[in-house]
Amino acid sequence: MLELSGKIAIVTGGSRGIGRAVAQELAKEGASVMISSRDAKNCEQTVGEITNARGVADFTALDLRQPDAPAKLAAATVQKFGGINIVVNNAGATQRGDFLSLTDEQFIDGFALKYYCTVRLTRAAWPELKRRRGSIVNIIGAGGRTPGAHFAIGGSVNAACLSFTKAIAELGIADGIQINAVNPGPVRTDRQIVGMEAVAKRDGISVDQVIARMVKAQNITRIGEPEDIAHLVAFIVSKKGSLLHGSLIDIEGGSTKTI
C-alpha cells in the first residue's frame, strides 16, 4: 500500500483512458477522487466502477477549455471532500495532421484544453496544495521531446507543458508542493484502438498485427497500458516517491531516443 488514505485527488480527463486508470489506482490506494471531463455519462460510469470497488469518488462534468472551469473544479472538490492534496492534470487531446492543413482554431483548441487548463487548475488548487503540502503530476507525453511531422499541435502543447512543469517546480519547493511530469508514449487507450482498427481494416490485418508492426517500427519494448501510467502516478504522489521533484519522467518503452 502507498498510504494515500485520507488524501484528496483531482484527475482531469478522468472518465476514460489514462485518466480513468489513474483515478481508479488512486482510489484503490485510499484517496478520495474527484474526476472531471466533458462527458458526464463516462464520468458517472467511472465513479460507479470506483465505488463498486469500495473506493470513494465523485465527478464534476465541465468543459475545461472554459477559463473559469478549472476554478469551479477546484471549488467543487473542496466543497465535496474538504480539500485538495493531489492534482493530476491529464485532460487534453490535440488534433493530428499535416501542419499546412491545421487551422488557427485547432491550435487554439489544443492549447486551451491541455496547456491553459493545466495552468489554471494549478493556480486554482495552489492554496490548498500549499496548505496540505500536496502534489501535482502533469500527464504530458513523449511528443513534447520528439514531435513528429503530424504532431505539430501536440508537440508544441506538450513542450509548453514540460517547460511549465519546470517553471513552477522551483516555486513548489518554496511552498512545499511536489511537482512532476509524466511522459507516456504509445498507450492502448480507446482513442488509440480506434486508430489501430482503422489501420487494420485498411491493411487487412488484425489489431494485434498492427501493434506488433508499431512496436517494431518504433523499436520499443511494447506499447503501454493505462495502468502502467497509473502505477507510476500513484508512486510519485506517495511517500515512496517524495524525492521526485521537477522531474520529467518518460514511460514509453524506449521510444525517446535522445538525451
Residues 82, 21 share a domain? yes
- What pLDDT shows up at residue 243? 98
Residue 71, C-alpha cell as written in the block:
476554478
Of residues 235 and 259, which shows the higher confidence score?
235
Residues 205, 77 share a domain? no
Tell me the Cα Rg of the chain.
18
3-state secondary structure of 74: helix
Residues 147, 194 share a domain? no
Residues 83, 157 share a domain? yes
Residue 113, C-alpha cell as written in the block:
484544453
Would 129 be classed as within a structural domain? yes
Phi, psi for residue 11 in degrees, rounded to 5: -130, 110
Residues 101, 54 share a domain? yes
Would 2 be classed as within a structural domain? no
- What pLDDT shows up at residue 191? 83
Residues 212, 131 share a domain? no
Q: Is the pLDDT of residue 137 over 90?
A: yes
Would 110 be classed as within a structural domain? yes
Residues 242, 202 share a domain? no
- Non-local (6+) Cβ contacts of 234 within 8 A are 2, 4, 22, 25, 26, 29
Would 206 be classed as within a structural domain? yes
Residue 155 and residue 150: Cα distance in Å, rounded?
9
- Look up cell 521526485; give the residue: 244
Instruction: Kindly report the pTM of this predicted structure.
Output: 0.95
Based on the structure, what is the number of domains in the chain?
A: 2
- Non-local (6+) Cβ contacts of 194 within 8 A are none
- Mean of all residue pLDDT scores within the chain: 95
Phi, psi for residue 67 in degrees, rounded to 5: -55, -35
* 154: containing domain: 8-187+225-251
Would 104 be classed as within a structural domain? yes
Residue 85 and residue 22: Cα distance in Å, rounded?
15
Quick check: 13 and 19 in contact, CB under 8 A?
yes
Residue 205 and residue 251: Cα distance in Å, rounded?
28
- Non-local (6+) Cβ contacts of 170 within 8 A are 246
Q: Is the pLDDT of residue 257 over 90?
A: no
Residues 169, 206 share a domain? no
Rounded mean pLDDT, 192-203: 91
58-105 pLDDT, tens digit per residue, is: 999 999 999 999 999 999 999 999 999 999 999 988 888 899 999 999
Would 3 be classed as within a structural domain? no
- Look up cell 508512486; give the residue: 235
Residue 236 sits in a domain whose CATH number is 3.40.50.720
Residues 161, 215 share a domain? no
Residue 202 CB-half CA count within 13 A: 7
Phi, psi for residue 36 in degrees, rounded to 5: -150, 140
Quick check: 50 and 33 in contact, CB under 8 A?
yes
Residues 241, 120 share a domain? yes
Residues 243, 152 share a domain? yes
Under the banding of pLDDT at 50, 70 and 90, the label for residue 37 is: very high
Give burial (CB, 10 Å; 0-12/13-18/19+) of 153: buried
Would 101 be classed as within a structural domain? yes
> Would you tell me how many other CB atoms lie within 10 Å of the CB of residue 117?
27
Residues 195, 156 share a domain? no
138-153 pLDDT, tens digit per residue, is: 999 998 888 788 889 9
51 backbone φψ class: left, alpha, beta (φ>0; ψ -120 to 50): alpha
Residue 223, C-alpha cell as written in the block:
506499447
Quick check: 88 and 13 in contact, CB under 8 A?
no
Quick check: 51 and 59 in contact, CB under 8 A?
no
Q: Per DSSP, what are the bridge partners of residue 10?
A: 34, 87
